[in-house]
Chains A and B, each alone.
Chain A
């Protein structure tokens, strides 16, 4: 194990998050079992008090999760000197079989935690805790995922051996490699550009319709999630090429470095944020008919839609700006 303050920091964060989530999930199951809003019994009052604690815990957890996602990537980047062949985070993460799964899990957990917080916010606005069961049901899915992520993260850092020869992002994301990364990088740029811009425009259109007329929330949510996946693939496939001004450099992590003005953070934060808000819209759809929420949900969905569109717009603008401001062009 490489002793490095950042690894300690990430491990501490993972440990804390696990403990907090286990605590929250434990009380969550109790609440699922014994919740009865109409009883004025002391158990019920106690459970209501507990839900405050759980909301606070999960708010902090989401914050820690987002920070640790970026810290994880940055640490992997920082460590690349230790491994022959690694030039950036891409190489460090490939040192053993855990690096990339941890990254994927971290992203998934960020999304889920974000959606949970949206549901929690809506639940607190309804005067009869209408979404309490959904909330804690979702928690029972989130908790094991976070535990899994922490475990895999420990395994990744524990199995980091300094003299392992790993691949650099140039070969990992090179178009002639037979791997998922390679295939994404190898997507033909023309159709990918079309898909990306097309989906963005479509999502926009549906979003505006939903914002104005209130119809098509589920479709909007679906398309915004699809756009998230396609945009991520597009990042690897052609967008980052414009930032590196190299037709072969497909690495999604190098744009987080200082040389590129840390633009990667702007891209990833807007993309993740937009995805969470879009998913939130969809998550709230089944509950529109609840009496206590019939007025609240549409208002919140509109706000979320606006946020999604704004964030995706920002993302697209950064991409377009870069595409037009650099002399580099793809054939």
Chain B
């Protein structure tokens, strides 16, 4: 479970180009739910996800995570929340690495290396042996039917294959929460529906999923437990139970 309490994120504070990306947002997201953030670009969805995903620190407010397991904190769902608001980067990153998986709008795969290596990258700094996560990466590639591209440089893959590699990468460290930013922006309807199917499978396994999208195929999907509307950094409305 993720708890946000009066979270604000301001850039360039005090300067003439001061910009508030997230404005006093309070939200609770339950474990295992699929939550959609819906809103136009510039509404603060991306910044909010960066804050939740331990990529950035809020300017004010509190963010708490329940039920995470890391080397320095172990908690169960209903108690002992970890307040990540003031954690130093080292710890934030450790949480991010083990608890979150990210799927970016542009896929953000590293060019010049193979698909398999891309999938394995998040596991490099964890101290796990390469044999172990290599095996996992290959299994994931099998699961998403891209195993034959293991050694191919990513430049050779099609849009749909890239999407699946990106999802596989997000899953390499067995995260409890997946965050996806406009995942269907560059996909046609068929691939978008395939994506939502894979999301459904992940949800069935108990993964908490957070998707920011202005694609109706996503926010109108029956899989979604809740849709949170955003505009100008604030929440405009919530349907369903996040």
Contacts and interface: CB of A to CB of B under 8 A. Distances in A.
A124 interface: yes
Interface of B: 9, 11-13, 57-60, 72, 85-91
A163 interface: no
A124 B87 CA distance: 11
Interface residues of A, number: 11
Interface in A105-138: 124, 127-129
Contacts of A129: 88
A47 to B, nearest CB: 11
Contact of A127 (B57, B58, B60, B91): B91
28 contacts: A37-B86, A37-B88, A38-B85, A38-B86, A40-B9, A40-B57, A40-B58, A40-B59, A40-B60, A40-B85, A40-B86, A41-B13, A41-B59, A42-B11, A42-B12, A42-B13, A45-B57, A48-B88, A48-B89, A124-B88, A124-B90, A127-B72, A127-B87, A127-B88, A127-B91, A128-B86, A128-B88, A129-B88
Interface in A14-54: 37-38, 40-42, 45, 48
Contacts of B90: 124
A129 B87 CA distance: 9
Contacts of A40: 9, 57-60, 85-86
A128 B84 CA distance: 11
A226 B58 CA distance: 49
B73 to A, nearest CB: 8
Contacts of A37: 86, 88
Nearest to A44: B57
Nearest to A52: B89
Nearest to A49: B89
Nearest to A43: B13
A165 B101 CA distance: 72
Contacts of B89: 48
Contacts of B9: 40
Contacts of B12: 42
A129 B11 CA distance: 24
Contacts of B86: 37-38, 40, 128
Among B13, B60, B88: residue with most chain A CB under 10 A: B88
Contacts of B60: 40
Contacts of B13: 41-42
A56 to B, nearest CB: 14
Contacts of B85: 38, 40
A46 to B, nearest CB: 12
B82 to A, nearest CB: 9
Nearest to B94: A127
A302 B211 CA distance: 46
Nearest to B7: A40
Nearest to B92: A127
A45 B85 CA distance: 12
B49 to A, nearest CB: 17
B70 to A, nearest CB: 10
Contacts of A45: 57
Among B11, B86, B90: residue with most chain A CB under 10 A: B86
A42 B59 CA distance: 8
A161 B207 CA distance: 76
A52 B91 CA distance: 14
A82 B91 CA distance: 56
Contacts of A42: 11-13
A40 B11 CA distance: 11
B179 to A, nearest CB: 20
A295 to B, nearest CB: 9
Nearest to A129: B88
Contacts of B58: 40
A180 B164 CA distance: 75
Nearest to B51: A40
A127 B73 CA distance: 11
Given A40-B58, A127-B88, 9 more contacts: A40-B85, A40-B86, A41-B59, A124-B88, A127-B72, A127-B87, A127-B91, A128-B86, A128-B88
A40 to B, nearest CB: 5
A38 B72 CA distance: 19
A203 B22 CA distance: 58
A127 B72 CA distance: 9
Contacts of A48: 88-89
Contacts of A124: 88, 90
A45 B9 CA distance: 13
Interface in A43-71: 45, 48
Lowest 6 A-B CB distances belong to which pairs?
A: A40-B57, A40-B59, A127-B91, A38-B86, A37-B86, A40-B58
